[in-house]
Structures are given as structure tokens and as C-alpha cells.
């Protein structure tokens, strides 16, 4: 096995770490207000101060909270797996409302991860039921209409991110296992699909780009994070064979004022971890509120 670029001792506990802390967080994002946000398996929405290393629960949803993201006003858009819905939580934990349940023809089954495009479109992965290769991606327009985007990246459609150009949507397909990308056409619809990397004997989960166009990819198992260089070469960034620090890492985000704190949600335990990195992440997209 390749030697990791960073030792596991470089990974810090930001919040949580013992039973009773964060409730098995799967999603983590960074808000325009300088806070990180995460979800819990019983519907919790957490707001995290990474400097003070404190957190508070600001809202509660019906079911398991998977991925989440924010708009420019720090409203939160969260995938509620248990309710089969994308929910909108008003900034600071105010009103909670249903944003989408899918289309009239195709309801959401396992809404997993949302990410914004510079156009203001919100792309949402819908994984599938166990044993079926029926994953798909919805697109929610700035006006709030939900349309089908693509069903080609179907092998448990998971974490996603838009590249710096806005031309490609990168999609984790956990049961591929690997990462594909789908061209985003000018009207927001889907173009061609390309497989960009395959990771045998791994279960990839989350993805984010840094400013060097290096794609960071988390592995739900084994407990690792890889870097995929622009030429496609893979580097092992960090590895945790003990399953204690980065325990089943799922979603990641570059946070902090300098976007150099790589935050990772650890579904297998009770914490959000952080790793200081040299290259900042690309800025997240914070559009106007959907329907606003």
C-alpha cells in the first residue's frame, strides 16, 4: 500500500469524538456566515464554530440527514433520507419547509447529497434502494421546479461537486466503485458522462476540489482520503487502519476563513474532524435562495 502523504496524527477533532456528541454525522458543509453545518442520523441540524470548537443543534428534521449545503443567506438545504425529501431550513434554524420530493413521475427514494451550480440550480443525488443500480440526479431550478437531470451515473449515486469551470458535475458512484462526471449544458441539462477514476475494493463517498483542481475523495471503507490529480493520478492523502479517527469518512468540505481546513464527517462515530492543508478549496457557490 502507498505511504500516506499525511500521518493520521495530523487529523484533529474539531467537535465531538465520544458517544453522545454529534449523532453519526454524514454531511458537512461550510456556510457563508463562517460556520460549518452538519446533520445527524435522528434528524439533527448542527451549527459548528470551528474556532471555538463548539456546536449547537439548531433544527430537527424527520429522518436521517445526509448531505447539505447553503445559499447566500445561510439558509440550509438538507437531504432527509427518512422522509425522502429535500428540506429547506431558514438561516439560524428558523422555519423548516419541504423544497422537493422529486418529480410527479419520479419521486425521490434516497436523496443523498445537494450541491449548487453557479447558475443557481441545485443538483441532488438520489442513491437507490439496496441491490438496485437505479441511482439518479435531480435538478432543482432557482424558481423551485424539480426536473430529472440524469440517470446514467446510477451505481449508488452519492457525493457530488461542480468543478471550477461549472462545466462538469463530478459524481461519486459508490458501487462502481469510483467517480464519474457529467457535462452540464448551457440550459442546465445533462450531456455526456465520463468515468474519471475507478477504485476497486473501496467504497467512495464524498468529493471536493481544491484550487489546484485536485479532487479529494473520501472512502467510507477503508477509512481513507485520496487526492486525484488533474492527470488522473491518485495519491493517498491520509489513512486510518484503526477506524478511530477518520471513522467511515463520508462528506468533506474546505472550511475556515482561508478554506484550508479540510473538514470531514465521520459517519462511523460522533465527530467532525479537520486536516489543515496547503492548498485552499475552491469557493463554494452561494446563490440566491431558491424561490426567493
Domain spans, the chain: 8-276
Dihedrals φ, ψ of 26, to 5°? -105, -40
Sequential DSSP letters for 258-287: TS-EEEEEETTTTEEEEEE-SSPBPPPP--
Counting DSSP H helices and E strands in the chain, the numbers are 0, 24
Nearest-angstrom CA–CA distance, 29 and 76: 10
pLDDT of residue 128: 80
pLDDT of residue 202: 97
With a cut of 50, which residues of the chain have pLDDT below it? none
Q: Which CATH class is domain 8-276?
A: mainly beta
Do 150 and 138 touch, CB atoms closer than 8 A?
no
Whether omega before 177 lies within 30 degrees of 0, making that bond cis, reads: yes
Nearest-angstrom CA–CA distance, 287 and 120: 5
A 10 A CB-CB count for 247 gives 19
Long-range Cβ contact pairs of 244-249 (< 8 A, separation 24 or more): 244/269, 245/8, 245/11, 245/13, 245/273, 246/8, 246/11, 246/273, 247/223, 248/220, 248/221, 248/223, 249/205, 249/206, 249/218, 249/219, 249/220, 249/223, 249/224, 249/225, 249/273
**Which residues sit opposite 89 in a β-bridge?**
76, 96
pLDDT of residue 150: 94
3-state helix, strand, coil in the chain (%, to 5): 0, 50, 50
Do 229 and 5 touch, CB atoms closer than 8 A?
no
Tell me, yes or no, if the pTM score tops 0.85.
yes
> Is beta strand 215-221 parallel, antiparallel or unpaired with respect to 203-209?
antiparallel
A 10 A CB-CB count for 257 gives 9
Closest among 251, 266, 278, 256 to 51, alpha carbons compared = 256
pLDDT of residue 1: 64
Amino acid at each position: 500500500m502507498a505511504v500516506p502523504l499525511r500521518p493520521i496524527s495530523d487529523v484533529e477533532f474539531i467537535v465531538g469524538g465520544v458517544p453522545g456528541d454529534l449523532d453519526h454525522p454524514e454531511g458537512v458543509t461550510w456556510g457563508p456566515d463562517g460556520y460549518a453545518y452538519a446533520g445527524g442520523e435522528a434528524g439533527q441540524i448542527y451549527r459548528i464554530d470551528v474556532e471555538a470548537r463548539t456546536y449547537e443543534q439548531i433544527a430537527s428534521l424527520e429522518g436521517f440527514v445526509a448531505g447539505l449545503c447553503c445559499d447566500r443567506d445561510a439558509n440550509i438545504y438538507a437531504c432527509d433520507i427518512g422522509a425522502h425529501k429535500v428540506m429547506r431550513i431558514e438561516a439560524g434554524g428558523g422555519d423548516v419547509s419541504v423544497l422537493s420530493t422529486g418529480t410527479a413521475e419520479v419521486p425521490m427514494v434516497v436523496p443523498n447529497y445537494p450541491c449548487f451550480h453557479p447558475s443557481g440550480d441545485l443538483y441532488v443525488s438520489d442513491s437507490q434502494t439496496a441491490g438496485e443500480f437505479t441511482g439518479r440526479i435531480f435538478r432543482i431550478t432557482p424558481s423551485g421546479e424539480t426536473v430529472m437531470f440524469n440517470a446514467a451515473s446510477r451505481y449508488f449515486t452519492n457525493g457530488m461537486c461542480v468543478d471550477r469551470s461549472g462545466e462538469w458535475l463530478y459524481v461519486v458512484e459508490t458501487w462502481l466503485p469510483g467517480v464519474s462526471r457529467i457535462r452540464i449544458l448551457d440550459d442546465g441539462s445533462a450531456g455526456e458522462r465520463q468515468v474519471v477514476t475507478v477504485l476497486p475494493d473501496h467504497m467512495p463517498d464524498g468529493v471536493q476540489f481544491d484550487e489546484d483542481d485536485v479532487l479529494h475523495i473520501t472512502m467510507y471503507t477503508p477509512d481513507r482520503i485520496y487526492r486525484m490529480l488533474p492527470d488522473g493520478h491518485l495519491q493517498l492523502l491520509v489513512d486510518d487502519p484503526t477506524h478511530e479517527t477518520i471513522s467511515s469518512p463520508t462528506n468533506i468540505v474546505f472550511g475556515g476563513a482561508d478554506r484550508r481546513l479540510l473538514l470531514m464527517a465521520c459517519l462511523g462515530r460522533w465527530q467532525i474532524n479537520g486536516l489543515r492543508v496547503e492548498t485552499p478549496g475552491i469557493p463554494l457557490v452561494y446563490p440566491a435562495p431558491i424561490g426567493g
